[in-house]
Amino acid sequence: MSELFDAVDALVASRSPLPPAEERKRLRVAHGLTLDEVAAALKIRRATVSGWESSKTRTEPRGPEREAYARLLDRLAELYPAPSSADEVTTPTGPATRSDAPPAVNALPAPSVDSGSEAESTVGEPHPTAVVVTAPEVPRRPLRAPAASSGPRRPSGRRENTTGSPARFEHGPLAVVDVEDGQALAYCTGGLVLDVPAKSIPALVDWTLREAKLGQPKLSGPGKDADPLLVLTKAALERYGLPVVLTDEERLAGRLPENHKIVRQLARAEWKLTKRGFGPWARIYRPAQGSERACVQLCIPSWNALDTRHWSDAGELQPADLARLLGVYASRVMTPRGSTAVTGLELMTSLHPPTRASGADADGKRHSEHNPGSLGKDPVDCAPCEAPDGHPLLRDLPRFHVRGPGEKLFEEAYDWARPLTDAECLRRNLVGIDVNMAFAAGANGLVVGTSAPTRVGKPVFDPKLPGSWLVDLSHVDLSRVKSGKEWVELDGDLLPSPFTPKGETPTGPAWYATPTVAYAVELGYEVVPIEAWVRYENGRYLDGWYSRLRDAYLATMADLGVGADLPPADFLTAMAGYRQRDPQLAIVVSAIKATVKGGLGKLRERPRGEGWRPGEPWRALARPTWRPDIRAAVISRTRINMHRKIVKHAAFTGQYPVAILSDCAVYAVDGESPLDFLPYRAGKPLPGGFKLGVNPGLVKHEGTQDVLWGEGVREQFHAPELNLARYIKDGTVTDVDNGE
């Protein structure tokens, strides 16, 4: 009989009307429940509960969740009945909130917003004469700007904050601003939606800083909080008088002209723009007053702010979806500061700010001082061998002089291939394996210089001292090398040299970064440097940067069903089609990878037009983070890591790669999977060799093509050493350069 009663209760609950969204929220808050607690009890997402309590989204529970949710609300309604008319308080007549905004105790009018040249209006809204007293909670969406009240009055209860951020950032790091039915809305992370009363760009900036509660806490003690980020959709651009698409002239300049009406509006409101002007990643600020910052960053996807190479079609997503995607990236990496490359560089600085507050002096005052372990606030010159062509240090060279290995440090990623042997031609397939986050793994634990270089003549090589070394490594014989403590015999003709990107054997003295020279010593050969530029002040500057990006990558891959502890076969299965499980999170993965590579690339940023001529300085040289030596050291270590694994694999299996491109190696084998040629014993990989897994430095399956495809492509394009690693993923061959 009890089962029948339960079935009847469930049937009634599935059809009975639920209270309005405002009442649902009132009941939850009255009992002291958070959104996360309700979501956990109902086994649903936090954003789903938030949507049920929002009259804007108008989402309703269904199925078994509706039954359980109705039961919860009924129990809470018994404990906390709705207030009667006797409990209402009367307030002076004035502008009202949106009719769908939840009431609050002693509800305050929102601060008035300076709208620049356009006046704010609340015409057409009802003007109630009473506010119902409910549980003390701040409305989810700020009120529209009404007339000034007689004095500030704040809710007396605790303010719910489920974001884990300080109260001033309780709405998350960013918002996507869109327009619906003539009303501007800000879509925040976690499904939160805010009304935006501002009707001009200056007013929007002011509202963001005063009311939006957007931003992100600093990543390190001496650092600064991240400025709020607003992403403007096409509809928002039209509302605020901005072009939806830049003209060709504006696109080439990367900004709006100085005489554009929006730029003039900002100037009249005493807002400033950074040197890059009002472009796809505009920064609008006023000079800081003490420790108080007043800065808002804009991201404009339709102006190509979100490069499709790294962000795919993120710019075309719906506002709520875009807010979710960027919010995940911001919470795990940092609030975007521009392109993924710019953000990667800014992450280094945010984790190691150049200055910190000193201890109190005799007068009790603190001063700015150098933050140990950082690159400082002033740029330093690189060594002449580390300078790229056109650098001011090289202005005295003859005009058409081409520097060789003995004059120029040339540490780059692998781009090497060789013809297949007769035995390899009889194999069935070419299988590519790719190292996860290879350059991030190369940065992990790497000691780099934090100061200017010092020239040393005829130095004794020190593998712990970062720098650039002029040394002859042509005597290193890859047919007989040390692997661990033992000497092993290899077929040196089938291996690339670890000392050059093209895999060619050095022919004389050349400049190398410390990891490259240290590897020559590891292989069992003596090195005698001729000259060096070393950095005695050094440290593991990139460790925190690596850890942050590694954790972001692993967390996002775990959300996509690829865990860090999966057995090899399960890992390959999980990797197959992982992007289709959640395309938005897959975009985040691509953006994290681009942040690694782009951030390292920014360490040696080249001139970007602006009338630059060889021998003259360019803008990037004024940054303390312009450090080509750090970039070279990371690339050197990444290339050496790859070669070390290749040697271990060859010594144990007798298999050699036929092509290597950066972090991808291709082998000719009979099977179709990496498990068909990677030596696993009882589930354990070869120590020091390739290991399948999602962690940085481990490998995944890049692609499989048959050997006939590879030989056919090389024959078709008359390129016997065409790098097949470039095309192994899907077999599509484009942009072939056969050297002609």
Segment 13-43, tens digit of pLDDT: 555 678 888 888 888 888 878 887 888 888 8
Closest C-alpha among 433, 670, 660, 429 to residue 568: 433
Segment 603-617, tens digit of pLDDT: 999 998 778 999 999
* 3-state SS class at 295: strand
Segment 622-647, tens digit of pLDDT: 999 999 999 999 999 999 999 999 99
Give the Cα separation of 588 and 553 in Å (integer). 9
Give the Cα separation of 529 and 285 in Å (integer). 51
The pLDDT assigned to 88 comes to: 42
Helical (H) or strand (E) element with 471: strand 467-472
Query: Tokens 């009202």 identify what position?
Result: 96
The pLDDT assigned to 312 comes to: 95
Spatial neighbors of 678 by CB under 8 A, at least 6 apart, are 433, 568, 649, 685, 686, 689, 690, 691, 692
Segment 317-337, tens digit of pLDDT: 999 999 999 999 999 999 999
The pLDDT assigned to 7 comes to: 62
Closest C-alpha among 581, 601, 693, 699 to residue 649: 699
Residue 383 and residue 455 in contact, taking contact as beta carbons nearer than 8 Å:
yes
The pLDDT of 426-444, averaged and rounded, is 97
* 3-state SS class at 292: strand
Longest dimension (CA), the chain: 99
The pLDDT of 177-197, averaged and rounded, is 94
Output 120 or 719, whichever has higher pLDDT: 719
* 3-state SS class at 21: helix
Beta bridge pairs of residue 370 = 355
Residue 570 and residue 549 in contact, taking contact as beta carbons nearer than 8 Å:
no
The pLDDT assigned to 266 comes to: 96
**Token pair recorded at residue 426:** 């009889």
Report for 166-175, 183-192, 713-722: range of highest mean pLDDT: 183-192
Residue 514 and residue 635 in contact, taking contact as beta carbons nearer than 8 Å:
no
The pLDDT assigned to 107 comes to: 33
Closest C-alpha among 685, 680, 647, 641 to residue 662: 641
Beta bridge pairs of residue 188 = 175
Give the Cα separation of 56 and 194 in Å (integer). 10
**Token pair recorded at residue 72:** 């919860």
Query: Tokens 């303390």 identify what position?
Result: 624
| SS3 per-residue string spanning 351-402 | HCCCEEECCCCCCCCCCEEECCCCCCCCCCCCCHHHCCCCCHHHCCCCCCCC
Which residues in 518-576 belong to E strands, given as ranges?
A: 531-534, 538-539
Beta bridge pairs of residue 692 = 699
Q: Does 203 score more than 80 pLDDT?
A: yes
Closest C-alpha among 112, 213, 233, 206 to residue 160: 213
Residue 468 and residue 513 in contact, taking contact as beta carbons nearer than 8 Å:
yes
The pLDDT assigned to 140 comes to: 36
Radius of gyration of the chain (CA): 31
Residue type, 672: E
Spatial neighbors of 475 by CB under 8 A, at least 6 apart, are 525
The pLDDT of 119-130, averaged and rounded, is 34
Cα angle, residue 255 at apex, residues 250 and 259 outer, rounded to 5°: 85
The pLDDT assigned to 46 comes to: 76
CB atoms within 10 A of CB 725: 27
In terms of phi and psi (left: phi > 0; alpha: psi -120 to 50; beta: otherwise), the region of 688 is: left
Round the average pLDDT of the chain to a whole number and report it. Answer: 86
* Range with the poorest average pLDDT among 18-27, 204-213, 482-491, 667-676: 18-27
The pLDDT assigned to 735 comes to: 66
Segment 239-277, tens digit of pLDDT: 999 999 999 999 999 999 999 999 999 999 999 999 889
**Beta-strand relationship, 283-289 and 89-90:** unpaired
* Range with the poorest average pLDDT among 109-118, 276-285, 543-552, 712-721: 109-118
Report for 114-118, 656-660, 685-689: range of highest mean pLDDT: 656-660
Spatial neighbors of 5 by CB under 8 A, at least 6 apart, are none
Count of residues making up the chain: 740
**Confidence tier at 115 by pLDDT (50, 70, 90):** very low
Q: Domains along the chain?
A: 2-87 (1.10.260), 133-145+162-335 (no CATH)
pTM of this prediction exceeds 0.75: yes
Give the Cα separation of 70 and 64 in Å (integer). 10
Query: Tokens 């009132």 identify what position?
Result: 26
* Range with the poorest average pLDDT among 24-28, 202-206, 240-244, 670-674: 24-28
The pLDDT of 106-119, averaged and rounded, is 34
Closest C-alpha among 538, 512, 494 to residue 632: 512
* 3-state SS class at 505: coil
**Confidence tier at 365 by pLDDT (50, 70, 90):** confident
Give the Cα separation of 91 and 728 in Å (integer). 72
Q: Does 413 score more than 70 pLDDT?
A: yes
Give the Cα separation of 551 and 70 in Å (integer). 39
On the 0-12 / 13-18 / 19+ scale of CB atoms within 10 A, 46 is: middle
In this structure, which long-range contacts are made by residues 13-20, counting pairs with CB atoms below 8 Å and at least 24 apart in sequence? Answer: 13/66, 13/67, 13/70, 13/71, 14/66, 14/67, 14/70, 16/70, 18/60, 18/61, 18/66, 18/69, 18/70, 18/73, 19/73, 19/77, 20/55
Segment 462-504, tens digit of pLDDT: 999 999 999 999 999 999 999 888 899 999 999 999 999 999 9
The pLDDT assigned to 85 comes to: 47
The pLDDT assigned to 118 comes to: 36
